[in-house]
Structure 1
Amino acid sequence: MPDSVALAGAAADSGRLDANTGVIVFLAFAAAYFISALMRAITATLSPVLTQDFSLHARDLGLLAGGYFLGFAATQLPLGSWLDRHGPKRVILWFLSLAVLGCLAFSLASSFAWLLAARVLVGMGVSACLMAPLTGYRRWFEASTVLRANSWMLMTGSLGMLASTLPVQWLMPLTGWRLLFWILAAMILLAMLAIAKVAPSWKNVASAPGMGMPPRPPALGASEMAATLPQEASYALVWRSRYFRKMAPLAFFNYGGMVAMQTLWAGPWMVKVTGNSLLEAATGLFYINAAMLATFWSWGMVNPGLAQRGWHATRLIGWGVPLSLAVLAFNIQAGSATGWLGWALFCVSSSAMGLAQPAVGMAFPASLAGRALSAYNLVIFAGVFVTQWGIGLLIDAFLAMGLTPVAGFQAAMGVFLCCCIASYAYFLSMKADNSQQ
């Protein structure tokens, strides 16, 4: 295995990594993202035992699950600047240290407030696990490889979510949920060691003109202007991008909502609406995440060929979102007949939204990639937090109005569907692509 000194030299000399080094670096970052995704989704599996131990309502469960995403979102703006300035290796190691502390704090929690605070700290700690490698890939890999690496990182995330279902359910009688978080802390430490050894060091783009920089578009736009700015340029160019604004509502409601279903509400739906046992619900979550793993692996295989044939991310999203809306509407209408298969189809049909992250990153020069990706991630995870907590609040509100649990879940999901439809309408109305800022 190449040592970090050799890798750093390779990165500094050309900006691009050779194939073997690229695979090793990818695997190191993927290990951290695997654990990040496992902790993201673990609330769905642990929700029954946490509800029992801490007497949680639906709104509490939604807030607890969303606390991860609140912590995640809170770090995204400074994270983007730090990634551009200091590079993925340094930043992710600092952040993962917080995740270790968060896991240990969660395992010792004696109240809901303590649980929530620890969950927020975990979210902050793993908030660089996707943005750090994507920022590096923008410079280390060719454009077609970036798309494939992004999809396979998401596939790794699905593998982590897969591990949060039946494997966690099987471990619970042996370890309990408290010891489980000590095991997770140890896994994070191992991932940190791997990244520290193999990840390339960072060389500031401003001091290496042209390294990793895309060709300029014909018209002068924000991306082109940003290429001439110093490394410390603000987020203003990101927020002003028409393409960024076009994608933001979909990121907030549609993609954020899909993650909210996958990481929390699919589980309670299967228990309270479909009537599954806890083991059946955990099995259903396993199948959902297995379907997502296969989906993101497939996107990674076909993306380069699709891009060459003109099927870029924006076009794929434009075709994919209506399908996901139709599946969501059908699931709501079917009510208690909707089991894991219905939610698996919804998540799979929403997966095209995952293509937006590299597309947004490639709309900007390498010197702004970290900020662009982190700003977009902020929108996604703010959407996950709002959706997870909001659905819980809506369920409790509809139950207080006298609706049955099935009708309460259906009504809350109906509000979510209306938000998704509105965001897609905005997407269609905004004329911009990722070369026109």
Structure 2
Amino acid sequence: MQTTERQPFPHRRGLIIVTTLATAYVASHFFRASNVTIGLDLMRDLSIGPEALGALTGAFFFGFSAMQIPCGLLFDHYGPRRTVTGMLMIATIGGVIFTLATSWPMLLTGRVLMGAGFGAMLIGSMVVISRWFPPDRFSTLVAMVLSIGLVGNLLATTPLAWASDAIGWRGVFGFAVAFTAIAAVAVWLVVRDAPSGHPFLERTAEPPRQMLQGLMEVLRNKRLRPILALNFCSYACTFTVQGLWGGPFLREVHGMSAIAAGNVLLGAVITYQFGMLAFGPLDRLLDTRKWIAVGGNLVTVSMLATLALASQPPVWVPVAAILVMGFVSAASTMVLSHGRGIIPDRLIGRGMSTLNTAVMLGVACMQSLSGIILGAFEPLANGARSEAAYHALFGVLTVVLLGAVAIYSRSQDVRPSDEMRARHQAQGA
């Protein structure tokens, strides 16, 4: 009789399942990042200001973060297959509303629904990885999911700018919505919650009270608190540049065209892809997660400080800062892996959703705040934001991220070698 220790880790089918989820994740990245390319077009077409654009962009992440805890409960109760499929259907409905919208409230409604629907994607992938593969492969496979998903970011830069010029942003979004609907069908057909013999398949479903008790157990875990602090701020600070204001900054302050700015953002996504490949296996090579995360985020702090303090620099300076930031922001995978090492398997859905709630709620808050910061400055005669306005924004991001790193530095590391040692001891017992 085979043991359940060897059953959970079949490789080929698990990789097919993870790849399917990662491919569906492309749509999430495309929609969340698209405003950095079409933001000025939305402002012009709908006669809205930076505050409204910031709120519109942040709405995706408010919807995303609002669904993290509910999705965590659904993952632990129903499993990723049914949960992700259902949520992708909601994202498809939101995409249709956004694409057909004729007013800002309709756009806002569509963005919220898209964010809510896509909120299941990353956590669903993490739950599947946790059930199909051993813990020392978690960081590498999560990096793979994020790397594939980032194709959506690539498509939301120069390709979106080109396509929008050719057929308009609504036409492009129509194709993206169709892709999302097809992805929902693919997830239902391909994904399985766990391999044969895994305890999840033989579980007794928890009653609602017990599920909430498990959630409270996660929230009361003091070891997670400094990790949540960095989760809240790290991606929020980098994505506010790369997913919202980086393009307008390059266009309004440095005079780049939409295509040229899109090329820079495309380059940042490519460097992020390389960063994923570089950072993914580092925890096994260096036997640490905490200090990789600290180092990467400190480099991001220095890049944000450069954008905040460099007055009228040559254009290569902000371009280089954005590209470097793209590469080192891949260190955020180590923060999630760090948190995964603390969460017990029986609470994996609720635990990972809690970690991702901090990530996306941080983005929602920071992008909404960013619009308020820029809106506090009088626009120039041509309606553009001034260099001083952007310097203020980047300065705030620098201080926020530096404070989060300081809090996170007090956390207790979770080393891959410790996890494998504990696993071998459990097998021996």
Q: TM bucket by the smaller chain?
A: 0.7 to 0.9
Q: Deviations over 1:305-360 (max 9, x none)?
A: x42542x2112112222222112111221244343321121232232122111221
Give the structure-2-normalised TM-score. 0.87
- Establish whether residue 246 from structure 1 lines up as the match of residue 194 from structure 2: no
Query: Using a 3 Å threshold, how does the CA distance of structure 1 residues 15 and 48 change in structure 2: closer, same or farther?
Result: farther
Write out aligned runs for 1:326-345 (5 A): 326-337=302-313, 338-345=317-324
Q: Cα distance, 1:206 vs. partner? A: 6.5
CA distance in 1, matches of 2:379, 2:181: 45
CA distance in 1, matches of 2:125, 2:385: 45
Q: 1:408 matched to which residue of 2?
A: 389
Q: 1:84 matched to which residue of 2?
A: 76
Counterpart amino acid of residue 389 in structure 2: G
Q: 1:372 aligns with which of 346, 351, 360?
A: 351
Write out aligned runs for 1:15-414 (5 A): 16-201=8-193, 205=199, 208=202, 233-300=213-280, 302-303=281-282, 306-310=283-287, 312-337=288-313, 338-399=317-378, 405-414=386-395
Query: Using a 3 Å threshold, how does the CA distance of structure 1 residues 138 and 201 change in structure 2: closer, same or farther?
Result: closer
Q: Is the CA contact (8 Å cut-off) linking 1:16 and 1:140 kept in structure 2?
A: yes
Q: Is the CA contact (8 Å cut-off) linking 1:34 and 1:157 kept in structure 2?
A: yes
| Secondary structure class of the residue paired with 1:384 | helix
CA distance in 2, matches of 1:348, 1:76: 26
Query: Using a 3 Å threshold, how does the CA distance of structure 1 residues 16 and 412 change in structure 2: closer, same or farther?
Result: same
Query: Using a 3 Å threshold, how does the CA distance of structure 1 residues 404 and 121 change in structure 2: closer, same or farther?
Result: closer
Q: Is the CA contact (8 Å cut-off) linking 1:266 and 1:340 kept in structure 2?
A: no
Q: Is the CA contact (8 Å cut-off) linking 2:87 and 2:116 kept in structure 1?
A: yes
Query: Aligned residues: percent identity?
Result: 25
List gaps (5 residues or longer) in structure 2.
Answer: 204-208, 419-429
Query: Using a 3 Å threshold, how does the CA distance of structure 1 residues 173 and 239 change in structure 2: closer, same or farther?
Result: same
- Establish whether residue 427 from structure 1 lines up as the match of residue 419 from structure 2: no
Q: Is the CA contact (8 Å cut-off) linking 2:9 and 2:132 kept in structure 1?
A: yes
Q: Is the CA contact (8 Å cut-off) linking 1:253 and 1:420 kept in structure 2?
A: yes
| Secondary structure class of the residue paired with 1:398 | coil
CA distance in 2, matches of 1:21, 1:232: 32
Counterpart amino acid of residue 342 in structure 1: A
Q: Cα distance, 1:19 vs. partner? A: 1.9
Query: Using a 3 Å threshold, how does the CA distance of structure 1 residues 174 and 427 change in structure 2: closer, same or farther?
Result: same
Counterpart amino acid of residue 24 in structure 1: I
Q: Cα distance, 1:119 vs. partner? A: 0.6
Q: 1:212 matched to which residue of 2?
A: none
Q: Cα distance, 1:64 vs. partner? A: 1.0
Q: Is the CA contact (8 Å cut-off) linking 1:83 and 1:91 kept in structure 2?
A: yes
Q: Is the CA contact (8 Å cut-off) linking 1:291 and 1:348 kept in structure 2?
A: yes
Give the aligned CA root-mean-square deviation in angstroms.
2.6
CA distance in 1, matches of 2:297, 2:15: 32
CA distance in 2, matches of 1:431, 1:38: 33
| Secondary structure class of the residue paired with 1:346 | helix
List gaps (5 residues or longer) in structure 1.
Answer: 1-9, 210-228
Counterpart amino acid of residue 42 in structure 1: S
Query: Using a 3 Å threshold, how does the CA distance of structure 1 residues 15 and 231 change in structure 2: closer, same or farther?
Result: farther
Q: Cα distance, 1:207 vs. partner? A: 6.9
Q: Is the CA contact (8 Å cut-off) linking 1:11 and 1:17 kept in structure 2?
A: no
Provide the aligned length of Structure 1 versus Structure 2.
403
Q: Cα distance, 1:431 vs. partner? A: 4.2
Q: 2:424 matched to which residue of 1?
A: none
Counterpart amino acid of residue 23 in structure 1: L
